[in-house]
């Protein structure tokens, strides 16, 4: 028998998937298999410009040497084991349809139809999608809000304890840690409370894949008691967009069921380049992660301190974090630099456009009052100083004379979103008969779709929730500020789909 599985000795300074791909491409086997470009031979000129010749030669999958993402026994199994070791997890699964896919697998692999699950209201819309897939019943918890910044923080311990007392039969709590803005709740205390109640702690840690590599940053979720954590390896580390990892932190969950859920939700023909990028990102962090993250933290703190010297701007730091049972933020990921614009005569979306087109700088997101900048392990002092110079110049040109941008007063903070009432289970609403109605005529109807401003992707409405006049007014005010809607079939929300009565 010619075909056999290769045994891999685990070594953090090797990349098993990348090595296997290179070996296959160099073996000279004549390709009578997918993909149709046949290792680049039939690739269009533009595709060859987009991907290197070597990359196209290695863009194959499902060969014996290249393993199977759904039943890994070779290089993928070794790469996942190395990732688990580096991140301190009991087990790790590679995901190639984003952290949305990882979150869907996390929820479908731990929840059953009818299970109650506690969810922060500022959760990403992917969590609502996972709830629909699992057939679970969401119980929403209001996060704490920083009124000065207009930013929703994490869940407080007291809010979690209250939800547990009201819903003692809930199966799990989903936490967002860190938030998009980098603020971290007291996850260790929350984990203890959840586990004492016999519940699971599932964590959307999309923005925390880098935390493991700096002692100056908050601990990652697995180290604080999370049973499962979904991380976007691509967001702050060096893998390709759409790649994530699902880390298992305890024996409270069924690993085989989680892998089965991931198998249901991922392609049976995974892109090997994406898998290799996860493997290589892990290798990079093993080789130089701590050094690179130390520099990212240094640059972030420098940027924040310098921004706070600019008239009209404010960048919140650890002074916005507080200990105690009612705190939604006990620590901060320094690499997320929020710049509040209250002292300028421009709002967030307008400032984003100014930076993009006048200074050739693109922020991560804008909201009504702030811009968010991510400092990653790829940045250096020169690029941070260029950003700083642009912020100084923009602030000087748009300093407020005491007033605020038109429409600013009417736009509440994202943390102060209206709180809709749930009338139907999201899964039932998703599969119900629907009809479109003009948004202005939808008050009192039950939404059949998710409505969120993106970024950050926090749902304003979820399937099964009642539409109110307050929500309609809120949507229109934020649209007027230039915020982009995500989720509804009609992206401008001239109409909204509602449940047929």
Do 373 and 425 share a structural domain? Answer: no
Same domain, 351 and 242: no
Q: Please give the residue range of the domain that contains residue 441.
A: 417-499
CA atoms within 13 A on the CB side of 249: 22
3-state secondary structure of 93: strand
* Rounded Cα–Cα distance for residues 129 and 135 (Å): 10
DSSP 5: P
Residue 249 covered by a domain? yes
Residues 372 and 391 grouped into a single domain = yes
Instruction: Check residue 4 and give its pLDDT.
Output: 40
Q: Is residue 347 situated within a structural domain?
A: yes
- List the beta bridge partners of residue 446: 466
- Report how many domains make up the chain: 3
Q: Are residues 223 and 317 in the same domain?
A: no
DSSP string, 388-407: HHHHHHHHHHSB-SS---TT
Does residue 258 belong to any structural domain of this protein? yes
Blockwise average pLDDT, block size 10, the chain, 501 residues: 58 94 89 88 91 90 87 95 98 97 98 97 92 96 88 95 98 97 98 98 98 98 98 97 98 97 94 96 98 98 98 96 96 98 95 98 93 97 98 96 51 63 94 96 95 79 94 90 85 94 80
CA 196 to centroid of chain Cα atoms = 28
What CATH number does the domain containing 313 carry?
3.90.1150.10
Residue 457 lies in a domain: yes
Check whether residue 89 and residue 204 sit in a common domain: yes
CATH code at position 442 = 3.90.100.10
* 45, part of any domain: no
Nearest-angstrom CA–CA distance, 254 and 174 = 17
Residue 41: what are its φ and ψ, rounded to 5°? Answer: -60, -35
Same domain, 177 and 261: yes
Tokens of 269: 């023909």
Q: Are residues 169 and 275 in the same domain?
A: yes
Query: For residue 486, what are the β-bridge partners?
Result: 452
110 and 239 in one domain?
A: yes
Instruction: Say if residue 451 is in the same domain as residue 367.
Output: no
Residue 108 lies in a domain: yes
- Which residues contact residue 331 at a Cβ distance below 8 angstroms, ignoring those fewer than 6 apart? 183, 184, 218, 318, 321
Same domain, 450 and 364: no
Give the Cα separation of 390 and 395 in Å (integer): 8
Close Cβ partners of 176 (under 8 Å, ≥ 6 residues apart): 120, 122, 123, 124, 154, 203, 204
CB 352 within 8 A of CB 373: no
Q: Is 271 in the same domain as 296?
A: no
| 4 in a structural domain | no
Q: Within this chain, do residues 128 and 206 fall inside the same structural domain, yes or no?
A: yes
Question: Model-level pTM?
Answer: 0.92
pLDDT at 34: 86
Q: Encoding tokens for residue 224?
A: 């604080």
User: Which CATH number covers residue 133?
Assistant: 3.40.640.10
Residue 146 falls inside a structural domain: yes
């Amino acid at each position: 028998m010619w075909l056999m599985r290769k045994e891999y000795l685990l070594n953090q300074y090797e990349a098993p998937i990348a090595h296997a791909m290179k070996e296959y491409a160099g073996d000279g086997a004549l390709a009578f298999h997918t993909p149709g470009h046949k290792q680049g031979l039939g690739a269009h000129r533009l595709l060859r410009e987009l991907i290197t010749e070597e990359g196209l030669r290695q863009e194959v999958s499902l060969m014996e040497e290249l393993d199977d993402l759904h039943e890994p026994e070779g290089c993928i199994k070794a790469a996942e084991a190395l990732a688990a070791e580096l991140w301190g997890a009991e087990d790790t699964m590679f995901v190639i349809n984003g952290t949305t896919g990882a979150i869907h697998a996390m929820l479908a692999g731990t929840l059953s139809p009818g299970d109650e699950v506690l969810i922060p209201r500022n959760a990403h819309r992917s969590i609502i999608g996972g709830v629909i897939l699992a057939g679970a019943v969401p119980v929403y918890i209001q996060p704490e809000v920083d009124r000065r910044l207009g930013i929703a923080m994490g869940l407080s311990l007291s809010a979690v304890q209250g939800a547990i007392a009201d819903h003692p039969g809930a199966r799990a709590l989903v936490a967002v840690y860190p938030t998009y803005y980098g603020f971290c709740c007291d996850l260790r205390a929350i984990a203890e409370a959840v586990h004492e109640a016999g519940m699971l702690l599932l964590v959307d840690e999309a923005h925390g894949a880098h935390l493991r590599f700096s002692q100056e940053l908050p601990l990652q979720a697995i180290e604080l008691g999370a049973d499962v954590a979904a991380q976007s390896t691509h967001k702050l580390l060096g893998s390709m967009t759409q790649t994530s990892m699902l880390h298992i932190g305890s024996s409270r969950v069924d690993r085989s069921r989680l892998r089965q859920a991931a198998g249901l939700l991922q392609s049976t023909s995974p892109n090997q380049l994406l898998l290799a990028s996860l493997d290589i990102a892990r290798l990079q962090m093993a080789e130089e992660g701590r050094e690179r993250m130390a520099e990212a933290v240094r640059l972030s703190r420098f940027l924040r301190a310098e921004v706070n010297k600019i008239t009209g701007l404010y960048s919140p730091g650890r002074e916005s974090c507080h200990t105690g049972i009612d705190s939604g933020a006990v620590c901060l990921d320094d690499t997320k630099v929020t710049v509040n614009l209250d002292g300028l005569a421009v709002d967030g979306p307008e400032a984003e456009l100014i930076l993009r087109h006048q200074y050739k700088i693109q922020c991560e997101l804008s909201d009504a009052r702030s811009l968010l900048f991510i400092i990653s392990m790829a940045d250096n002092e020169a690029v941070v100083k260029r950003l700083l110079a642009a912020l100084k110049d923009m602030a000087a040109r748009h300093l407020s004379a005491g007033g605020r941008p038109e429409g600013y007063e009417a736009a509440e903070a994202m943390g102060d979103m209206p709180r809709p009432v749930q009338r139907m289970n999201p899964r039932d609403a998703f599969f119900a008969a629907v009809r479109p109605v003009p948004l202005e005529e939808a008050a009192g109807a039950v939404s059949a779709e998710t409505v969120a401003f993106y970024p950050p992707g926090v749902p304003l409405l979820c399937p099964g929730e009642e539409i109110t006049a307050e929500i309609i007014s809120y949507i229109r005010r934020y649209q007027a500020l230039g915020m982009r809607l995500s989720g509804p079939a009609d992206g401008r929300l001239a109409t909204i789909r509602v449940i047929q009565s």
